[in-house]
Amino acid sequence: MEHNVMKQLISFIAVLIFSSSVTYAQQEAVNPQVTIHTNHGAIRLELYPQQAPKSVENFLQYAKDGFYQNTVFHRVISHFMIQGGGMTADMQQKPTHDPIINEADNGLKNLRGTVAMARTNNINSATSQFFINVEVNGALDHVSKENSRTWGYAVFGRVVEGMDVVDDIRFVETGGPNGVPIKAVVIESVEIH
42 neighbors 35 (Cβ within 8 angstroms): yes
Residue ranges in the chain whose pLDDT is less than 50: 9, 14, 16, 19-28
Instruction: Please give the tally of structural domains in the chain.
Output: 2
Residues 132, 84 share a domain: yes
Question: Residue 79 is inside which H or E element, if any?
Answer: none
Alpha carbon separation from 146 to 123, 124, 142, 190 (Å, rounded): 11, 14, 10, 35
Range of the domain at 150: 31-192
SS3 track for 93-154: ECCCCCCECCCHHHCCCCCCCEEEECCCCCCCCECCCEEEECCCCHHHCCCCCCCHHHHCCC
- Quick one: 26 and 46 in the same domain? no
Of 3, 28, 65, the closest CA to residue 190 belongs to 65
CA proximity to 179, closest of 67, 80, 38: 80
The pLDDT assigned to 110 comes to 98
Q: Give me the pLDDT at residue 28, please.
A: 47
State the CATH number of the domain containing residue 152. Answer: 2.40.100.10
Both 9 and 40 in a single domain?
Answer: no
Look at the pTM and tell me if it is higher than 0.75.
yes
